[in-house]
Amino acid sequence: MTPLENEISALKKELVSMWILVQSQLNKAKEAMIQYDKDLAREVLIKEKRVNSFELKIDRDCENIFALYCPVAIDLRFLLAALKINTNLERIGDIAAGIAKYVVDSSVNFEVSALESTSLLRMYEEAINILIDTRTAFEKEDTSLARSIFKRDDVLDAINEGAPATVAELIKGDTNGIPEALYILSIIRKLERVGDQAKNIAEEIIFYVEAKILKHLESGNRKLEGEE
């Protein structure tokens, strides 16, 4: 391989490593929420510094490759996409830390029945699966899998849109559970943003592999574009 190819290969591995760390952060925040494990939640908060360090290193590596090799064509697109994917992953890491902080701050356990009735557990599982599949699409340069993320995010959006009503029902059933219900609503809002970040990543994968820009297309147009 050429020196540029070696640098890009190393950068791709770095991004995958960051992806795995962020995925672990989301999983641990979920486990901390279900088990009401404040120690595990604090671990997520501590490891947030590692996510931030990863982001800074990847940014620097991209800048160095630009400066040393002046890449063009797909190499240039990959670097531009890597910078944006890096930012999206860091934001997902922030979301995981935010959920962990709710667990640390909460004075009440999260009842599994409440997590199920509000579809929070289903939403959380789908958010993690979407993150895993965007990584697979990135590693395999699979734009079909990347496009599937747009439709799957609709599930997260639907749960988020229905959250005020489902949480209101939860509060009606037990007014003593208002603090827990409000935390649940906040976590649902955060998970909806995981879906948004995943869609951004999917767009960047399609951009660097196919040289197509989908950023300002509505979701329906994205799907039609993929059928051409």
Domains of the chain (ranges; CATH) run: 3-226 (1.20.58.220)
pLDDT score at 211: 92
Q: What is the mean pLDDT of each run of 10 residues along the chain (228 residues)?
A: 95 97 98 96 97 97 96 96 98 98 92 93 97 98 97 96 94 88 96 97 96 70 51
Q: 34-40 long-range CB contacts below 8 Å, 24 or more apart?
A: 34/110, 34/112, 34/115, 34/121, 36/103, 36/106, 36/109, 36/110, 37/103, 38/103, 38/104, 40/100
pLDDT score at 59: 97
Quote the pTM value.
0.92
pLDDT score at 206: 97
pLDDT score at 228: 44
Tell me, rounded to whole angstroms, the distance of Cα 130 from its chain centroid: 8
Q: Output phi, psi for 43, to 5 deg.
A: -60, -40
